[in-house]
Copies of this chain bind each other. A is one copy, B any other.
């Protein structure tokens, strides 16, 4: 298929690379200033037009929007009249499919459930992708596109996608923030952050074989009041971290003992 990309950030980069690998042609890339679009265009090693203007994008079968969530509705509302054919698709976990209706062409969603960084390679084939089309035909077209880059493609409504995205916030964004707090604590004490790496890896790997409920360890599940008091005393000078400690300790306790 001929694909045009709106956005040239982390997700757009990995999408573009995977699409090219799957034999599609990325005909154009549009980014705010055009600069990141040019870099991405060079990186994918295909002749793709880089621009900062939507109306300069070449005609495509699918226009994939991989921008920040809050820009998607503006893009749909300002969709140029010269791009009056094809399918317009956003890639967000939390934005409703109908936000794309104002574009005036068929529309849909392709949500890859993963956290992307430009500098890290990911195996797109393993990333679960969730599609939704404004018509059954659009859904079918999106299934075909998604299956060309991923082995795990499912249809999912906007409402269900929002629920899934909320779980992803807990399992990824919040988890990463806890890693950040742990790293801060290590640095404060002059300890290398690498010390925690095997523990972090094993904690994530463990729940492939057992449920997180079964995998739970630590002072809160053991009702180890002595350790909990000792930790609270250490955190006395950091009210924000103490609050997080108390809330999560209480939540683990309630999960297992009430």
Binding site for B on A (CB under 8 A): 68-70, 94, 113-115, 117, 119-120, 122, 126-128, 160, 162-183, 185-186, 189, 191, 193, 195-213, 215-222, 224, 226-227, 230-231, 234-235, 240, 243-245, 247-248, 251-252, 254-255
Nearest CB in chain B: distance from A216 CB, A: 6
Report the separation of the CA atoms of residues A164 and B187 in the bound assembly, to the nearest whole angstrom: 11
Specify which of B176, B186, B240, B251 is in contact with A177 (CB 8 Å cutoff).
B251
How many copies of the shown chain assemble into the complex? Answer: 2
Kindly name the residue among A179, A220, A251 whose own CB sees the greatest number of chain B CB atoms within 10 A.
A179
- Tell me whether B182 and A115 are in contact (CB under 8 A): no
Q: Which of B128, B204, B255 makes the CB contact (< 8 A) with A203?
A: B204
What's the least CB distance linking A159 to chain B, in Å? 10
Q: A211–B193 contact, CB under 8 A?
A: yes
